[in-house]
Structure 1
Amino acid sequence: MTPFWIGIGFFLILILFFSSIFIVKQQTAYVIETFGKFTSVRNSGFQLKIPVVQRIAGRLSLKIQQLDVIVETKTLDDVFVKLKVSVQYVVIREKVYDAFYKLEYPHDQITSFVFDVVRAEVPKMKLDDVFVKKDDIAIAVKRELQEYMSEYGYDIIKTLVTDIDPDAQVKAAMNRINASEREKIAAQFEGDAARILIVEKAKAEAESKRLQGQGIADQRREIARGLEESVEVLNKVGINSQEASALIVVTQHYDTLQAIGEETNTNLILLPNSPQAGSDMLNNMVASFTASNQIGEAMKQQNTKKKGE
């Protein structure tokens, strides 16, 4: 055998050797077939196969994968809405054979089931309920997918309704409704604030009037007490009550005139100020007291007569 053929043989041996070894990455499964028939599943690490006789039929990732499905459907109140459903799934390590041979297009199968479940659940709900019960929709999708896909070597980790997108006109209407509700609430708060201010102002005015009235009453009470003391003083020097009252009135009259004269910024007040003013006031006071005494005596006699009868 010539060196040429030896070199060719050595080269072929190298090719066969390198074609018999392969490396499987972490979280990956290789399917090995022998003459077209399934032989084994190889996991991560250094692996060997028989050249020419065996081949790598396919690779499956054992990582968690996510598939986003957008479904357009109609709600119970006739609103078209788009839902984005995210399905997280993984190939079951013990069922790589089923996942590889039984199901050719897993994405298409999952998408079909998501469409079927969403279009069965959402038309039973009104638009507001779709937002509130989106977790119920996700649970229903997972339940159906889990039951079906487990036969084909897939485990459904989680399903999420990640987006709910109504028609543009519906969203604009919803925004107007929300704005109107907020304006209504703002108006109610403003009305309550205005009512509180009015009530508090009225309470303050009422309290002011009450204190003012109390002050006037105290003032009159002190004036009456002062007059009473003045009459008692005059009675001690031999002046009776009627004459004392007349004297006090005349004195206050002239004190008032003096105070008006001393006040330069006061408004003009017209009072009787003739020489006879004092005597007229005194006569009027005496006449008033006399008439009052007569009326009082008449009433006493009338009451005594009624009691005698």
Structure 2
Amino acid sequence: MGEFFLIPIIFFGLIILFSSFFTVKQQTAVLIERFGRFQSVRNSGLQMKIPLIDRVAARVNLKIQQLDVIVETKTLDDVFVKLKVSVQYVVLRDKVYEAHYKLEYPHDQITSYVFDVVRAEVPKMKLDDVFVKKDDIAIAVKAELQEAMLDYGYDIIKTLVTDIDPDAQVKAAMNRINASEREKIAAQFEGDAARILIVEKAKAEAESKRLQGQGIADQRREIARGLEESVDVLNNVGINSQEASALIVVTQHYDTLQSIGEATNTNLILLPNSPQAGSDMLNNMVASFTASNQIGEAMKEQNKNKKNPEK
């Protein structure tokens, strides 16, 4: 009969013994209460408590945690915008008591401070400045939170403004402005390219004309040199210059007639085409050159008299 009662006692004793030990994970702190009153903070490892008297009141995470807060506010230029602020915080190892007993809802407390700072800073800025100065907003949030949450056992590691989301209509307007600016720049580049093309084309045409003129001048120079040599050859055989020139003109005249006769489907007509035509053309040219020289000499003499009226 005594053995029958001994087994439950042993079993109950084992339960009490095993309940005296507990483990605490790495980066975790455990708060022990005795009859509802704070007793101690236990760190990672195997720990012991008094059964039925001590109890585990809470397990506090000592890892770095992140809280994302979305705040909607208005900018200085009356644009509604949503900001996503990410707050990275950690419970101080030597202030686990304050983190658990002084603050009931830490997330709500942090959120309230974020709302307060963001809605105080953003209305001072225009929308473009919010994008540019987002780091200043994050620094202001951290400074406010650091001062407030340190008394509660929380250390603010970093605050980040991770997203800025203006109203949909504002984003559409900004996209249209950016598209217009890009189209304007593209039009300017296209205009510059067209202008450069026109200038280079004009330069090329000018160079072509210059080379063409130079070619014609060289051609005429060679023709004149050839005529001069021909006249010299004829002079050497007793033919004077005028007769030599007439002979050359007549020869070229017949060469032209011969080339016309050899060509097929030609529309070229040489008028006049009599043998006397070459001699008449030469006489007319000589007369024209003589008249031009006489007029030039008269003009020079007249200009000379105007300059020296006393003489």
In the alignment, what sits opposite 1:17? 17
Judged with a 3 Å threshold, the aligned counterparts in structure 2 of structure 1 residues 107 and 251 are, in CA distance, closer, same or farther, namely same
Q: What corresponds to 2:212 in structure 1?
A: 212
Alignment gaps of 5+ in structure 1: none
Q: Quote the offset at 1:285 in angstroms.
A: 4.7
Aligned residue in 1 for 2:233: 233
Maintained 8 Å contact 1:84/1:162: yes
Deviates more, 1:244-253 or 1:26-35: 244-253
Residue equivalent to 1:266: 266
Residue 257 of structure 2 aligns to which amino acid in structure 1? L
User: Map of 1:25-174 to 2, 5 A cutoff?
Assistant: 25-174=25-174
Alpha-carbon distance, 1:60 to partner: 0.4
Residues 59-107 of structure 1 show CA distances to partners (whole Å, capped at 9, x for unaligned) of 1011111111000000111000001111111111111111111111111
- Cα 1:84/1:291, change in 2 over 3 Å: closer
Q: CA deviation at 1:252?
A: 1.8
Match of 1:83, SS state, is: strand
User: How much has 1:283 moved relative to structure 2?
Assistant: 4.3
For 1:190 and 1:12, how far apart are their aligned partners in 2? 92
Q: Deviations over 1:144-170 (max 9, x none)?
A: 111211111111111111111111111
Provide the rounded CA distance (Å) in 2 between the counterparts of 1:76 and 1:158.
26
Amino acid at match of 1:206: A
How far is 1:178 from its partner?
Answer: 1.5
The residue type equivalent to 1:79 in the other structure is V
Number of equivalences: 309
Worse-matched range after superposition: 226-235 or 74-83: 226-235
| Cα shift readout 1:220-247 (whole Å, capped 9, x = no counterpart) | 1111111111222222233332332232
Instruction: Flag structure 2 segments of 5+ consecutive residues without an equivalent.
Output: none
The TM-score normalised by the length of structure 1 is 0.90
- Segments of 4+ moved more than 4 angstroms: 285-306
Superposition TM-score, scaled by structure 2 size = 0.89
Shift in alpha-carbon separation, 1:299–1:200, aligned structure 2, 3 A: closer
In structure 2, the CA distance between the partners of 1:106 and 1:301, relative to structure 1 (3 Å rule), is closer
Residue 76 of structure 2 contacts residue 125 of structure 2 at CA under 8 Å; is this kept in 1?
A: yes
Change (3 A) 1:67 1:286: closer
Tell which deviates more after alignment, 270-279 or 286-295: 286-295
Residue 92 of structure 1 aligns with an amino acid whose one-letter code is: L
> Structure 2 CA distance, aligned partners of 1:303 and 1:128?
78
Q: Is the 8 A contact 1:110 1:145 kept in 2?
A: yes
Partner in structure 1 of residue 183 of structure 2? 183
Q: CA deviation at 1:17?
A: 1.7
Which residue matches 1:255?
A: 255
CA contact (8 A) 1:250 1:281 kept: no
Q: Against the structure 1 CA distance between its residues 260 and 11, is the aligned structure 2 distance closer, same or farther, given a 3 Å change threshold?
A: same
